[in-house]
Amino acid sequence: MTLPTLDDLNAAAALIGRVIPPTPQIQWPLLSRRCGAEVWIKHENHTPVGAFKVRGGLVYMDHLRQTSPNVRGVIAATRGNHGQSITFAAQRIGLTSTIFVPHGNSREKNAAMVALGAALIEHGHDFQAAFEYARDLAAERALHLVPSFDMKLAAGVGTLACEFLRHVPHLETVYVPIGMGSGVCAMIAGRNALNRKTKIVGVVAEGAPAYALSFQARKVVATNHADTLADGVACRVPLADVLAHILGGVERIVQVSEAEIRQAMRCLYTDTHNLAEGAGAIALAGLMREGLRGQTLGAVLTGGNIDQDLYARVLSTTD
């Protein structure tokens, strides 16, 4: 699968712009002082579903409407933000959506998907189990399965990369979470399309290291677990096509601890008064771990959808 081109990204931006405005990118003085660098945050927590995924959902659903007009409903597996994106976009074009989540998933993300119109089904102990069940059911019932990664999704998400890199053209290094791959592939596509020199650093959780292990081995390395507060990056089976693009476009992958993720969440609150879920804060956690002082750095805050009780615990504790 080839990465989206500049024409693809511009077309996606025009489509998305009819539904949601560009999100802000802000250099926060307290955060910059804390990190000893010029730090910019891309605020994807400011979209209508509180996360970056909505961009990809809109582009994917528009393509589906044009190419498969007989489809009446879609099915997908998610930890929350992908599901909100798909349901939000599906509802706009009159499609039903059935969303599978693992048992123990975020109560508030589940509630948001139901409020958007999803039929929500819990299955399995983690995302991979929910996805495999959704995939099998889609084949059995001839439903359209929306994958967790697709270049149409990446084209939509790539619009955030273009917004960021156009606004901060001197960005030296940008940190991006790696879940199933749409975010990091989108940043590579945007960087390449705009011909920027910005280095891209992927960030994963130590409890979900599959892409870091795969990057080191230069081949897909699956794990038996993906346990992390940052549920949006809880991947245990990397995709070969995504890994190929990562190997060709990412400088390195940083692993961060749960304590570092929690600290980044607290810093985003105290220094910017923005809410960040674990996966939303993990890019900043990677930036802070590396400590590249005196540079112009960016981090994508991919989402702010976290349950109130969990967020209260994170804010009230220190590591």
User: What's the sign of the alpha-carbon dihedral 63, 67, 71, 77?
Assistant: negative
pLDDT bracket for residue 141 (50, 70, 90): confident
Q: Where are the domains of the chain?
A: 6-51+151-316, 53-145
**Topology match between the domains 6-51+151-316 and 53-145:** yes
pLDDT reading at 18 higher than 90: yes
- For the chain, give the percent of residues with pLDDT over 70: 100
- For the chain, give the percent of residues with pLDDT over 90: 92
Q: Which fold has domain 6-51+151-316?
A: Rossmann fold (3.40.50)
pLDDT reading at 143 higher than 90: no
Q: Which residues contact 14 (CB under 8 A, 6 or more apart)?
A: none
Q: pLDDT (tens digit, 9 = 90+) per residue, 111-127? A: 999 999 999 999 998 88
Q: Which fold has domain 53-145?
A: Rossmann fold (3.40.50)
Residue 131 CA to residue 126 CA, distance in Å, equals 9
Q: Which residues contact 165 (CB under 8 A, 6 or more apart)?
A: 171, 174, 190, 191, 194, 196, 198
pLDDT bracket for residue 139 (50, 70, 90): confident
pLDDT reading at 225 higher than 90: no
